[in-house]
Amino acid sequence: MKRKEEQYLNNWLKSSHRKPLIIRGARQTGKSTLVRLFAGNNNLKLIELNFEENYQYKEIFSTNDVKKIIETLEIHFNIRIDSNRSLLFLDEIQSHPEAIAILRYFHENMPELAVLAAGSLLEFTLEEYSFSMPVGRIEYLFMGPMTFEEYLDANGGENLAGYLKDFSLKDSIPESIHGKAMEHLKAYFLVGGMPEVIKTYIESGSLLEADKIKYSILNTFRDDFNKYKGRLDLADLQGVFDRLGIIVGKKITYKSLLPNEKSYKVERILKMFENARLLYRAYHSAANGLPLKAEINRKKAKGIFLDIGLFHSLNGLSLASLDMEANLFFSNRGELAEQFIGQHLLYSRPEYMIPEVYYWNREKSQSSAEVDYLLQLNNTVIPVEVKSGKTGTLRSLHMFMEQKKLKQAVRFSTNKPIAELVSSSLKETDYSYNLITLPLYLVEQTERLLSLL
């Protein structure tokens, strides 16, 4: 299955300033598969070491002498390693932190050898161990679940994916194409973007078989709790994990997660789930200018789960709605729509940047307001509203646009695309701005489409 990160790796391989690269992401997002596919497509001899599965590799990487390491690997695998035509892949590198420090010596003493590493719980390792990080001598690539367009490519929707990538707001989408896209989107909402789940769904054609894999992955995450629980009670970890679904698209309150525990303990648990990349927090930003991060309030945040398919299973949502017509299916699923848009906006940034997204809200008695997400594009703030169906009020968006004096906003819904001039109608003098309505399935084309206006 194609992943967009492969193009990033292709550019990395050709770069004259290439450094050892660590792929960071949650378990089961396809990091190892990506590396194997990349090596095969570039005719590179893959030398793959999994530090979690074989303790002997840790002994090999007990020296800073990279030439000695390569010589030992040649003997161990009975191969000849050509530095210019090979790829050294250090998988589950968090299981041997010393190997992270050794990456600097590959950069300094053997730069011609392409070196990739991958880690799922790397943040826990960095907190627990004390060693000299190879600052300035390594690169990072952040990887999440498969996107909707990647799902289309894998599931026979290549032509539709190509159509979306070429679509212009000057064009109109025929009803037949819109309907097909919505049916695919409905399936993605249920299946999600975890590669093994998608593969099972494509091969079996069964949502129930895919569901089994989703629950298996969730149980794998639970098995990891012992690796990073520290002094925290395992039952508390389990309790918060099982309730993560209730904070998607909603303000995070500690009492809703562990009513009888102190806030600092809940915060510590949430941070652990963030480190495992199972949870992301969209923080409130005052959004008076750029960068958005400069005006965030860390006491106000709402949750985004790793993947919409896993979110579906985590909440135990009923499969009874599977036979619904697409528009009816989306009409009452605001939290799913917000999760879908959120996880795609997180990874819309360049792969070397930490996934982040923000939102805005105002909490006032009888006058509260919220804008679902905020983007930075072309040196301006772009507010994003998410609607699960075709209709919905824009009062909060009007308030935000008038207050911040912005000229362009985006609304995602199940409607076809349209660009229009709208008025806020909140004051005696109406404030007008450009509103771009996009169907949910065009989320990955947001920046491209806005840049063409």
113 and 173 inside one domain: no
pLDDT above 70 for 325: no
Q: What is the pLDDT of residue 124?
A: 78
pLDDT above 90 for 425: no
Most confident region among 213-217, 233-237, 316-320 by mean pLDDT: 213-217
Average pLDDT over residues 152-165: 97
pLDDT above 60 for 322: no
pLDDT above 60 for 323: no
Dihedral sign from CA coordinates of 304, 346, 445, 189? negative
User: Domain end: 110, 142, 174, which one?
Assistant: 142
178 and 309 inside one domain: yes
More confident residue, 89 or 124: 89
User: Domain end: 142, 175, 197, which one?
Assistant: 142
Q: Which amino acid is at 401?
A: M
Q: What is the pLDDT of residue 226?
A: 83
The single-letter DSSP state of residue 419 is E
pLDDT band for position 121 (cuts 50, 70, 90): confident
Q: How far apart are CA 325 and CA 241, in angstroms?
A: 32
pLDDT band for position 427 (cuts 50, 70, 90): low
pLDDT band for position 164 (cuts 50, 70, 90): very high
pLDDT above 90 for 326: no
Q: What is the pLDDT of residue 312?
A: 87
Percentage of residues of the chain with pLDDT beyond 70: 92
Sheet holding 432-439, edge to edge: 296-305, 279-285, 358-362, 369-377, 380-386, 408-413, 432-439, 418-423
Q: What is the pLDDT of residue 229?
A: 67
Average pLDDT over residues 292-318: 92
pLDDT above 70 for 208: yes
Dihedral sign from CA coordinates of 230, 235, 239, 244? positive
208 and 101 inside one domain: no
Average pLDDT over residues 350-371: 89
User: Domain end: 125, 142, 159, which one?
Assistant: 142
282 and 297 inside one domain: yes
Q: What is the pLDDT of residue 332?
A: 55
Closest CA relative to residue 181, chosen from 443, 391, 448: 443
Query: pLDDT by residue (tens digit) across 368-423?
Result: 899 999 999 888 999 999 987 666 678 899 999 999 999 999 999 999 999 999 98
The mean pLDDT of the chain is: 91
pLDDT above 90 for 133: no
Q: How large is the C-alpha radius of gyration of the chain?
A: 23
pLDDT above 80 for 135: no
26 and 59 inside one domain: yes
pLDDT above 70 for 305: yes
CATH number for the domain spanning 107: value is: 3.40.50.300
107 and 248 inside one domain: no
195 and 301 inside one domain: yes
Structural domain total, the chain: 2
372 and 240 inside one domain: yes
In this structure, are residues 110 and 66 in contact, taking their beta carbons and an 8 Å threshold?
yes
Average pLDDT over residues 254-260: 92
Domain holding 77, by residue range, is 5-142
Q: What is the pLDDT of residue 224?
A: 87
User: Residues, the chain, total?
Assistant: 453
321 and 270 inside one domain: yes
